[in-house]
């Protein structure tokens, strides 16, 4: 597929989301959404993230219903290892009491991990399939069919996850400390004197807002760079297979690490929000 484009066009094509927007003439897609601005849906990001979330729920629900007390099957053993791993990290990181934290951490870890692992699919496979479907089923020009199969390479998704964590942070802080306690924390730290309230508020607000920004940008930056390297490898012709294999093997460590970091930082932030300093 790389031979059909110049290198720059090939890279740009693979880094472009499939878009849907509402224009004056009705629903439009892809290039017609160039001027739609904020109110544009990235169809591929939505489809892959929701699909992988459903896959996670289906697998864990199936294993939960069929779980046995004897010698577990391979899938049940894998699920139990993941659950124990997450549970251990929650117990060592979160110092409050909440029935939500462990299920939330498990969901974040497995969901982000599945989305990250889409990065291991060869970059031309899914775009080629999408182009064939678009051409033969809908009469589209294959060059106008876009698909990004790694949801975490879309800043919109990582930002949405981070905003969800941020809302939970605020909710936990108010639940544990009350509005008065939360306000006092923003205005009386780190300098416990009324004269420093403006400085304290600025410092604490910047710290609070920086947490979801760091979550979103760390995950997006690492996965976007990784996907870009896979795309660049696909442009080198005959040598792409060994290079792709080497980079994919390296990412068998990196991709789970990014999911683990997102989960761990989420637990840490919620633990900090729950503590009364």
Q: How confident is the model over 85-129, as pLDDT tens digits?
A: 999 999 988 887 888 899 999 999 999 999 999 998 888 889 889
Catalytic residue of the set 22, 62, 92, 214: 214
Catalytic residue of the set 222, 226, 271, 274: 222
The pLDDT value given to residue 1: 52
Is 30 noted as a catalytic residue in this protein?
no
Instruction: Give the C-alpha separation, 222 to 217, whole Å.
Output: 8
Report DSSP state, residue 2: G
Lowest mean pLDDT among 17-26, 28-37, 82-91, 222-231: 28-37
> How many C-beta atoms surround the C-beta of residue 229 within 10 A?
16
Q: Report CA-CA distances (Å) from 164 to 9, 158, 170, 270.
A: 35, 10, 10, 12
Lowest mean pLDDT among 3-17, 69-83, 216-230, 262-276: 3-17
Q: What is the pTM of this model?
A: 0.89
Catalytic residue of the set 218, 226, 271, 274: 218
Is 218 noted as a catalytic residue in this protein?
yes
Is 92 noted as a catalytic residue in this protein?
no
Residues 23, 78: contact at Cβ < 8 Å?
Answer: no
pLDDT for 36 beyond 70: no
């Amino acid at each position: 597929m790389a031979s059909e484009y110049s290198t720059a066009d090939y890279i740009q094509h693979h880094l472009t989301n499939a878009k849907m927007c509402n224009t004056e003439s009705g629903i439009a897609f892809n290039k017609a959404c160039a001027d739609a601005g904020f109110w544009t849906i990235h169809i591929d990001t939505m489809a892959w993230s929701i699909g992988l979330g459903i896959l996670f729920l289906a697998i864990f629900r199936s294993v939960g219903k069929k779980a046995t007390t004897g010698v577990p099957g391979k899938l049940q053993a894998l699920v139990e290892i993941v659950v124990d791993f997450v549970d251990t990290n929650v117990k060592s990181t979160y110092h409050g009491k909440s029935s939500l934290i462990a299920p939330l951490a498990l969901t974040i870890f497995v969901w982000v991990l599945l989305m990250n692992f889409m990065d291991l699919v060869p970059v031309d496979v899914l775009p080629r399939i999408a182009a064939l479907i678009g051409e033969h089923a809908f009469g589209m020009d294959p060059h106008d069919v876009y698909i990004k199969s790694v949801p975490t390479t879309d800043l919109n998704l990582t930002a949405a996850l981070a905003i969800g964590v941020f809302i939970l942070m605020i909710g936990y802080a108010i639940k544990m400390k009350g509005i008065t306690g939360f306000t006092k924390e923003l205005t009386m730290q780190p300098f416990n004197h009324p004269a420093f309230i403006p400085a304290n508020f600025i410092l604490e607000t910047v710290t609070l807002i920086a947490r979801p920004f760091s979550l979103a940008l760390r995950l997006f930056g690492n996965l976007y760079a990784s996907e870009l390297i896979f795309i660049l490898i696909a442009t080198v012709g005959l040598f792409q297979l060994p290079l792709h294999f080497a980079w994919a093997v390296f990412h068998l460590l990196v991709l789970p690490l990014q999911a683990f970091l997102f989960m761990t930082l989420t637990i840490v932030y919620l633990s900090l929000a729950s503590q009364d300093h």
